[in-house]
Amino acid sequence: MKPKVLVTREVFDETLEFLARACEVESNQRDIPLSPGQLAQRLADKQGVVCSLTDRIDENLLHDCPQLKVASNIAVGYNNIDLAACTARGVMATNTPGVLDDSTADLAFTLMLATARRLTEAEAYIRAGQWQGWHLKQLLGVDVHHATLGIIGMGRIGQVIAKRALGFEMRVIYHNRARLASDIERRLKATYVSKDELLAQADFVVLQVPYAPQTHHLIGGAELKKMKPSAILINSTRGGVVDDAALIRALKNGTIRAAGLDVFEDEPKFNPGFLELKNVVLVPHIGSSTEATRRAMAMTAAKNAVAALTGGTPPNLLNPEAKSKA
């Protein structure tokens, strides 16, 4: 008998076809988000779940779904999964690293360019019929080339962002939990500095850290005050890493110049104060949203699930100790 798998959100046809070769698949192709109760009900008789960052896989759900053997997240981040609870119950948890690095780095650079050159403000200006012709001081922005880029979080995606900065001849500084190997620093022309040094020196501060209790409000009012008044903050990693209320105050008061945001606290809800500001670019968590990347993410998650349910080891297993308990 094939193991049963629930796919909690809409995926691509080839993803379902791949899963169906090894599993009995129930899918939510209508793409209506499931409440915690609905998710538990539909998972009660399942051995696997291919889930998204909107699905909370926690102790309460695991208690109600004792047959569950794998939670395969279609994301590189996994703060929606209680890893300790999964491990204790022998549930393998997986993610999709690597396949989205380039697309997410591209989006970070898009936000840098859009904020620096005031693109959303300029588009709103022209759509509103306000453009009366060229003049010298019209919508003055700032240069990205030759500027100092500060990256907080120099993992895979942070390093890809630094690589792109080479083409803009930027000075790259970074802060990370652990300093990179010297050969990587040389290749990226990146200099390790303290967090405070980075905040004080960078023209662009790009955040690329996972969300966890220790990174909650990593950037708050105190950190924003350490940045240059001309600096631009980019958050394309996870909501909650930035104190959004403090950021709104900083943008209103001119503490920093501007911000570009792909993620928010409590998304899809977000602080309505952002909508009152012209000096912020807002996009709805689309960092990895290219067709090729999202297809690769979904297929990676499917392969992780199938491996777990057919006696293998998932390529992207987050909690190897759970496998021995499965």
Active site residues: 238, 267, 285
Whole-angstrom distance, CA of residue 257 vs CA of residue 24: 53
Report the Cα–Cα distance between both ends of the chain, in Å, rounded.
18
Whole-angstrom distance, CA of residue 16 vs CA of residue 250: 46
3-state helix, strand, coil in the chain (%, to 5): 40, 15, 45
User: Please, are residues 301 and 94 in contact by the beta-carbon 8 Å criterion?
Assistant: yes
Whole-angstrom distance, CA of residue 257 vs CA of residue 28: 43
Q: Which residues, at least 6 apart from 40, have a Cβ–Cβ distance to it below 8 Å?
A: 60, 61, 64, 65
- Structure token digits, residue 89: 């119950």
Whole-angstrom distance, CA of residue 64 vs CA of residue 141: 54
Whole-angstrom distance, CA of residue 18 vs CA of residue 217: 40
Whole-angstrom distance, CA of residue 130 vs CA of residue 41: 54
The arrangement of strands across the sheet holding 232-235 comes to: 190-192, 171-175, 148-152, 204-207, 232-235, 258-261, 280-282
Whole-angstrom distance, CA of residue 222 vs CA of residue 211: 19
